[in-house]
């Protein structure tokens, strides 16, 4: 019987609910296939593999296999419980079976069973009753005497979990010789999954594959079947309603085809007809088309629809494209593709992207969204395989002038020249402001000139947005990160705390440059940042915020581009101090001076984790990247209350259980996110409708059900998410409910650390979640008896500046609690800039002594809560941000070598984690041992018995 291991499992599709429109969860996602290339010769196989992306090129039209010649690395192929890579070499030992003297071929290595090799799923490309021909160029390498058999096989998976294997062909192969493998197959019925793979040689023998083709033996039969695999064709049938409503159906309403509406005021945008979804009574009512069999697993698809709305006196409303997927075990999944604000005045374009991780039994795309009574009009719908978009080149900064203040007359030596009042307020110059540069800017600039002590006094303010302004259009360079710094103060007469904001108007769009809340008559520092990524015709900076009639004072405003290189050099030094320790290996037994010692760190045990979701684990490429590059996980939605109990008493823990099983099988620790969510928009309607007593009972039931079921399985819990930004449970159940949640959670699972968790704590752009307010909240919880075990900083950040982040961490560090970045992501349309942002955040966190873990909020395109934040592109290519992450993970491994000293000791400096040490006594005697270095910064001695 063929054995199944964790790296090649498959599982049923998840039961995905409609996503709550909050930013704290991943969006629908795409798939990753690792691609590797290696330069070498044909007879000497490479030992180390460098992962590099390959250019995307479509497979040959007649061949149903994707990437049949490995021109895209291992894209679309999966090593079945072994390792694999692609090499490009000029081979001198190819025989006549080879088609080329310059062969790119795949190698399946580290094979422990004869059935291990390379596989590719072909479910959506197979039609029952059609005969297919298989042709492959294969070889073998390794310690081999005589011939080895290479087999082509189909794995057929059925709904009842039955698995059958169908042999297609066999070829006997000599070492370092290419042979041709041929065969045919035909399926009388269609399984749920069809996987093609090559296998056969004995364990320890590498399997080589130069190319593989599976073609229809009778093309006329294929043509008659209507099967079309052309990736550039629209998979929507009758997309412009030229054939009336053929292939379309209504979703809970009525659909009609028109050539015009509204007495000729509504006409098709293109073509002759459009359709309407009318008599709608629910927001999900609309027009739909089934695309089962025309959409393939693990391929990204672009969706473009032309839509508008009509009727019920509505002028604008949300229109959405959604995918309904039914899995073979009849679980329903809803995937949000895109949304747009549609109007009753003109046609608008709805654009989005989706990808299926699993093999569904049914797929339907539909248009929905407006409230009942509003008609949805659709002019056309296009769904095509997404074309690869080349990445933008790294930005080129001509004379960036790092550290140079772009604000004119910042010290006010020329009065208010260069400044103008925004609105009808009045600007004057006063004296008596601080002479020192604010701390966060000082950390960025280093030694700098003192400030003048002069400030702008803003009076006669009649609107909150009134204040001093300056045009900086020609001074801002695209993709440069700018730091913002100023001293601000407010006049008397304010009622309550006042928010002061350095803002930018970028072509009439507001950009946040930093905020601070003021409730006294002291000078306060504003520290923030921004970056412009699209060319603007007008950029204005202005200071605003206090209530009308409250005077505003602004001193020493500086906006300057930052050079991150000096900061990164400092962080490398700081990382060595904080994360590495002196290690002495003391050898006992037959050791002697001069014995050679080689130490390699296998794994850094510092927590580097990521968000995952149930849909992800149907994609074996996602799983491979996840388990190789992360040691902690958090679930995007599957533990949240609205997921585990969408309707009262209807409990769903299946998705969380399956995610936990995956993590446990790979020794990956997990965080529990989250028990409650304080923001009202994330609270189920059935909870919101309860009276106080019933709501209190529901809260206690939630605690008991969740923490009893998973006792000891989650290392952390975010107890009540985002308490700085929401107050639903406190408003309904009283001021003690938050502390009670912590106290009861601790009683139910004393082993779990209980966290607070919130966003914008680290970036200076949100006065509701300043470090000071976060500290105040935590202290209040502790005073009420809450056992707060950790501080969660989400880290959804734009244009990060190291000293600003570090300043927030320093402030939070005074609590003495472990700080975790719990949901870190960065976003930029340029993946090189995104990589820089990610490096800034990872280095700042890793170099800070109070930070004890870093969790990314996902890594795979289409499964992220923010656009342009992924590390791996939709169909598997690691982008520049992903490469930067992997590079840092490699940098944070310690290696050392040298000779044992006269006291049988070997000393080096290393990170926490697992190590392998090789002791080379002589040419014939080598000893290998493993040891673990625990977290700490003091010297440590480790005894190794030889």
Tens digit of each residue's pLDDT (9 = 90 or more) over 131-145? 889 999 999 998 887
- Checking if the pLDDT of 729 tops 60, the result is yes
Q: Model confidence at 54, in pLDDT bands (50, 70, 90)?
A: very low
Domain pair 78-89+102-216 / 249-385, same fold = yes
722 is catalytic: yes
Q: Domain residues of the chain, as ranges? A: 78-89+102-216, 249-385, 420-562, 578-603+896-945, 631-758
pTM: 0.78
pLDDT tens sequence across 224-282: 444 444 456 899 999 999 999 999 999 999 999 999 999 999 999 988 999 999 999 99
Kind of pairing between the strands at 420-422 and 524-530: unpaired
Among candidate residues 823, 831, 875, 880, the one labeled active-site is 823
What is the arithmetic mean of pLDDT over 613-630? 95
Options 2.60.120.260, 2.60.120.200, 1.20.1050.10, 3.40.50.10190; CATH for 78-89+102-216 is: 2.60.120.260
pLDDT in tens, 445-504: 988 899 999 999 999 999 999 999 999 999 999 999 999 999 999 998 888 999 999 999
pLDDT value at position 22? 39
* 146 pLDDT more than 70: yes
CATH fold of 249-385, please? Jelly Rolls (2.60.120)
Domain 578-603+896-945 has CATH 3.40.50.1820: no
pLDDT of residue 100: 42
CATH class of residue range 420-562: mainly beta
Strand positions, DSSP E, 759-836: 790-793, 796-797, 819-826
Q: CA dist 725 to 21, 497, 648, 739, Å?
A: 15, 17, 26, 17
Catalytic residue check, 839: no
Residue 702 pLDDT class (50, 70, 90 cuts)? very high
Residue 103 has pLDDT above 90, yes or no: no
As given in the structure block, the two tokens for residue 109 are: 């290595």
Residue among 199, 620, 722, 831 flagged as catalytic? 722
Q: Report the pLDDT value the prediction gives residue 511, as an integer from 0 to 100.
A: 96
Residue 428's pLDDT is 98
State residue 23's pLDDT score: 44
What pLDDT is stored for residue 187 in this prediction?
A: 86
pLDDT at residue 129 in the model: 78
- Kindly write down the DSSP assignment for every residue of 223-281, as one continuous string: HHHT----TTS--SSSTT-TTTTTT-EEESSEEEEES-BTTTTB--SSSS-EEEEES--
Sign of the dihedral defined by the CA atoms of residues 347, 348, 349, 354, in that order: negative
More confident residue, 832 or 54: 832
Q: What would the mean pLDDT of 350-362 be, rounded to a whole number?
A: 93
Average pLDDT value for residue range 3-32: 35
For residue 907, what are the contacts with CB-CB under 8 A and spacing of at least 6? Answer: 582, 583, 584, 585, 901
* pLDDT for position 683: 98
CATH assignment, 631-758: 3.20.20.80
Mean pLDDT estimate for the chain:
89
Phi, psi (rounded to 5 degrees) for 575: -60, -40
């Amino acid at each position: 019987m063929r054995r199944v291991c964790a790296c090649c499992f498959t599982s049923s599709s998840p039961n995905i609910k409609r996503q709550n429109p909050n930013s704290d969860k991943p969006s629908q996602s795409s798939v990753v296939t690792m691609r590797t290339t290696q330069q070498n010769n044909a007879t000497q196989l490479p030992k180390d593999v460098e992962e590099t992306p390959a250019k995307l090129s479509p497979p040959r039209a007649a061949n149903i296999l994707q990437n049949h010649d490995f021109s895209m690395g291992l894209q679309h192929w999966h090593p079945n419980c072994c390792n694999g890579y692609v090499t490009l070499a000029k081979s001198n030992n190819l025989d006549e079976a080879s088609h080329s003297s310059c062969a790119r071929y795949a190698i399946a290595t580290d094979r422990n069973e004869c059935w291990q090799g390379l596989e590719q799923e072909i479910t959506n490309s197979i039609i029952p009753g059609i005969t297919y021909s298989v042709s492959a160029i294969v070889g073998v390498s390794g310690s081999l005497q005589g011939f080895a058999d290479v087999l082509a096989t189909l794995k057929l998976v059925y709904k009842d979990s039955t698995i059958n294997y169908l042999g297609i062909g066999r070829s006997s192969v000599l070492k370092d010789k290419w042979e041709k493998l041929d065969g045919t197959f035909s399926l009388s019925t269609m399984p749920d999954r069809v996987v093609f793979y090559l296998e056969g040689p004995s364990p320890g023998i590498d399997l080589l594959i130069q190319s593989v083709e599976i073609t229809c033996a009778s093309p006329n039969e294929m043509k008659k079947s209507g099967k079309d695999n052309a990736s550039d064709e629209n998979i929507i049938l009758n997309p412009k309603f030229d054939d009336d409503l053929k292939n379309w159906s209504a979703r809970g309403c009525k659909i009609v085809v028109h050539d015009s509406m509204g007495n000729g005021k509504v006409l098709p945008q293109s073509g002759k007809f459009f359709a309407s979804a009318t008599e709608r009574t629910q927001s999900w009512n609309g027009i739909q088309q089934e695309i089962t069999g025309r959409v393939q697993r693990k391929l990204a698809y672009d969706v473009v629809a032309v839509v508008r709305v009509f009727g019920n006196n509505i002028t604008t409303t949300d229109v959405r494209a959604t995918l309904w997927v039914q899995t073979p075990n009849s679980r329903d999944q809803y995937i949000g593709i895109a949304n747009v604000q549609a109007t009753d005045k003109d046609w608008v374009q709805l654009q989005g992207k989706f990808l299926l991780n699993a093999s569904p039994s049914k797929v339907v795309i539909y248009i929905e969204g407006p409230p009942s009574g509003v008609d949805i009009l659709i002019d056309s719908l296009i769904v095509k395989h997404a074309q690869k978009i080349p990445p933008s080149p790294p930005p080129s900064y001509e004379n960036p002038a790092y550290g140079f203040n772009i604000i004119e007359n910042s010290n006010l030596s020329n009065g208010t020249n260069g400044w103008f009042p925004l609105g009808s307020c009045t600007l004057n110059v006063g004296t008596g402001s601080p002479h020192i540069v604010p701390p966060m800017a000082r950390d960025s600039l280093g030694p700098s000139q003192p400030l003048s002590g002069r400030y702008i006094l803003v009076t006669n303010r009649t609107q909150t947005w009134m204040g001093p302004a300056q045009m900086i259009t020609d001074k801002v360079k695209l993709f440069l990160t700018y730091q913002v710094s100023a001293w601000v103060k407010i006049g008397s007469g304010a009622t309550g705390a006042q928010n002061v904001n350095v803002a930018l108007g970028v072509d009439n769009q507001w950009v946040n440059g930093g905020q601070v809340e003021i409730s006294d008559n002291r000078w306060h520092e504003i520290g923030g940042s921004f970056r412009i990524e699209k060319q603007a015709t007008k950029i204005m900076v202005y200071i605003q915020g206090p209530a009308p009639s409250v005077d505003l004072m602004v001193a020493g405003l500086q906006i300057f581009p930052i050079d991150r290189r000096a900061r990164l050099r400092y962080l490398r030094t700081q990382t060595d101090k904080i994360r590495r320790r002196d290690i002495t290996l003391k050898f006992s037994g037959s050791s002697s001076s001069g014995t050679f010692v080689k130490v390699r760190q296998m794994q850094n045990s510092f927590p580097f984790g990521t968000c995952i979701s149930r849909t992800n684990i149907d994609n074996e490429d996602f799983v491979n990247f996840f388990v190789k590059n992360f040691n902690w996980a958090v679930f995007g939605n599957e533990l949240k209350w609205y997921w585990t109990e969408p309707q009262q008493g209807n409990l769903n823990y299946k998705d969380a259980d399956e995610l936990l099983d995956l993590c446990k099988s790979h020794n990956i620790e997990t965080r529990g996110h989250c028990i409650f969510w304080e923001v009202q928009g994330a609270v189920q309607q059935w909870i919101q409708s309860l009276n106080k007593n019933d709501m209190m009972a529901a809260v206690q039931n939630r605690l008991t059900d969740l923490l009893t079921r998973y006792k000891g399985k989650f290392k952390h819990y975010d107890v009540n998410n985002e308490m700085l930004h929401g107050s639903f449970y406190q408003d309904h159940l009283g001021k003690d409910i938050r502390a009670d949640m912590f106290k009861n959670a601790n009683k139910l699972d004393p082993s779990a650390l209980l966290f607070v968790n919130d966003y914008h704590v680290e970036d200076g752009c949100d006065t509701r979640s300043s470090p000071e307010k976060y500290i105040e909240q935590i202290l209040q919880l502790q005073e009420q008896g809450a056992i707060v075990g950790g501080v969660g900083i989400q880290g959804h950040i734009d244009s990060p500046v190291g000293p600003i982040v570090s300043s927030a961490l320093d402030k939070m560090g005074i609590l003495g609690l472990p700080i975790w970045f719990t949901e870190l992501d960065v976003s930029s349309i340029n993946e090189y800039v995104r990589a820089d942002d990610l490096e800034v955040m990872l280095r700042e966190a890793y170099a800070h002594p109070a930070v004890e873990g870093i969790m990314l909020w996902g890594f795979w395109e289409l499964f992220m809560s923010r656009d342009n934040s992924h590390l791996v592109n939709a169909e598997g290519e690691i982008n520049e941000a992903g490469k930067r992450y992997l590079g840092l993970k490699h940098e944070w491994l310690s290696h050392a070598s040298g000779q044992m000293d006269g006291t049988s000791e070997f000393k080096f400096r290393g990170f926490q984690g697992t190590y392998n040490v090789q002791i080379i006594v002589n040419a014939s005697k080598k000893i290998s041992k493993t040891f673990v270095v625990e977290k700490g910064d003091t010297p440590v001695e480790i005894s190794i018995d030889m």
